Structure 1
Amino acid sequence: MPIVPGFQLVATRSFPPLAARLHELAELGYVKVEPYDALLRDPGGLASMFNHANLTCPSIHAELPRFRTDVQRVIGMADILRAGTVVIPKLTVADHPQDTPGWMRFAAELAGYAIKLKTAGKRLAWHNRELEFAPLPDGSTPIEHLFEASPDILWEIDLAWVVRAGQDPTAWIERWPERIVAVHLKDIAQSSSGAEWVWADLGHGMLDWDLIVPALKKAGCQHWYAEHGAPLDFDRCAMRAIETMRSW
């Protein structure tokens, strides 16, 4: 099955206006986009821009405080954008539980949100950073507790953060294939001394895509989003990413 190219819009932050970038993405051949939390300030306006550029929005990022304040409003935003999946992108370091009981409590909180989204015809997914793979005092990992809490907690796997955590992404894909609904395709530079920090254009870094891509396809990953954490050249980043995705 061919990969339908998607783009995570966090890479557009330093390249306004957003409407122009959306049209560029569509012209390059991207079909779907995923907005980051700050873009949800005007979901109606955002939906209009997506429609005008002929781009779909199957998933959105919504920060945890939005869930804790008003889950129904999060669902309403997803409805406006026609997004079937809502992804919680991260916890702040200060909010990270420090032990297994803390992570189990947090996982139970996520399971509650997942039920509310499921009742509304939506899905909840977690986007990992590297801290979810750091061993807890009892040897378990936070990511395990999140998925063991409920089958309704799905996964948007960010491969580069898995690698940054010192883990093999293919092993984790093979362990939890049924949870993976989306992927962030971010590459890691050979050297972290560049102006784009540790990130590289997709296919121009150190990740072994010959192993990762077949594992993702086997897992049935639905949404493939190219991402770059700090691009200096948006056009270069977006062009290289879609060229790499087409080569798969």
Structure 2
Amino acid sequence: MTKPVLSLQLFSLRELGSLDAQLSAAAKAGFQSVEPLGHQLQDAAALSEALARHGLTSPTAHIGLEFLQSEPGRVADACRACGIRELFVPQSATFLPPETTGGWQRLGAELGRLAERYAADGISVGYHNKMAGFALLPTARYGFEVMFEAARGTPLVWQADIA
């Protein structure tokens, strides 16, 4: 059994300003790991250096679906540079309105495809629901249930937001 890692989502510290200010606050609060956002992966070298400077690791990151789709090589390189092993995609307006069965099916199929693609680079892809998917659809099923059914057989994982 692996020991759980408590990691702070940098989205929570976005109002502190710069990446350096966010990482400094996380380290001072006693965190050892943080979860950067997709735009912070744009300059992987700067992120990697800042993480090292503050004694932090980044096993996971939040990333927009569009960046994950459009630049897989760049994303994989950034993950390797920063030690990121899992990427989580928050709810995407591209595939939803959130209360349509077809939207959830399309999202599941695409995330499943991406999970397979990134698995080849040793990176896990998952969905972060941001409270979406908990309302019953007209089919009397939950959105995330439809999504995972559409992704069945792929390595897609879930980072549950239940706050």
TM-score band by shorter chain is: 0.7 to 0.9
Equivalent position SS for 1:131 = coil
CA RMSD of aligned residues (A): 2.1
Is the aligned partner of 1:153 residue 2:156?
Answer: yes
Quick check: 2:136–2:142 contact (8 Å CA) kept in 1? yes
Structure 1 residues 26 and 134: CA distance shift in structure 2, 3 A: same
Q: How far apart, in 1, do the equivalents of 2:91 and 2:53 lie?
A: 30
Instruction: Normalising by structure 2, report the TM-score.
Output: 0.86
Q: How far apart, in 2, do the equivalents of 1:54 and 1:10 lie?
A: 19
Q: CA deviation at 1:3?
A: 5.3
Aligned to 1:142: 143
Aligned to 1:51: 52
Aligned to 2:96: 96
Aligned to 2:131: 130
Q: CA deviation at 1:42?
A: 1.2
Structure 1 residues 5 and 105: CA distance shift in structure 2, 3 A: closer
Is the aligned partner of 1:10 residue 2:11?
Answer: yes
Report % sequence identity.
29
Quick check: 1:133–1:143 contact (8 Å CA) kept in 2? yes
Deviation per residue, 1:192-223 (Å, 9 max, x gap): xxxxxxxxxxxxxxxxxxxxxxxxxxxxxxxx
Deviation per residue, 1:121-141 (Å, 9 max, x gap): 110111012231222221112
Q: CA deviation at 1:71?
A: 2.1
Quick check: 2:11–2:37 contact (8 Å CA) kept in 1? yes
Deviation per residue, 1:38-93 (Å, 9 max, x gap): 2222121011100111100001111011123122222222112110001112213x
The equivalences for 1:170-181 within 5 A come to: none
- Could you tell me which runs of 5 or more consecutive residues in structure 1 were left unpaired when the two chains were aligned: 161-248
Instruction: Normalising by structure 1, report the TM-score.
Output: 0.58
Q: CA deviation at 1:2?
A: 6.9
Aligned to 1:36: 37
Q: CA deviation at 1:111?
A: 0.8
The equivalences for 1:1-248 within 5 A come to: 4-92=5-93, 95-97=95-97, 98-148=99-149, 149-150=151-152, 151-160=154-163
Quick check: 2:27–2:56 contact (8 Å CA) kept in 1? yes
Structure 1 residues 11 and 102: CA distance shift in structure 2, 3 A: closer
Structure 1 residues 105 and 28: CA distance shift in structure 2, 3 A: closer
Q: How far apart, in 2, do the equivalents of 1:4 and 1:102 lie?
A: 32
Quick check: 1:62–1:87 contact (8 Å CA) kept in 2? yes
Structure 1 residues 36 and 76: CA distance shift in structure 2, 3 A: same
Equivalent position SS for 1:38 = helix
Quick check: 1:62–1:74 contact (8 Å CA) kept in 2? no
- Could you tell me which runs of 5 or more consecutive residues in structure 2 were left unpaired when the two chains were aligned: none
Q: Which protein shows a greater Rg?
A: 1
Q: How far apart, in 2, do the equivalents of 1:154 and 1:118 lie?
A: 11
Deviation per residue, 1:162-200 (Å, 9 max, x gap): xxxxxxxxxxxxxxxxxxxxxxxxxxxxxxxxxxxxxxx
Q: CA deviation at 1:115?
A: 0.4
Q: How far apart, in 1, do the equivalents of 2:4 and 2:66 lie?
A: 33
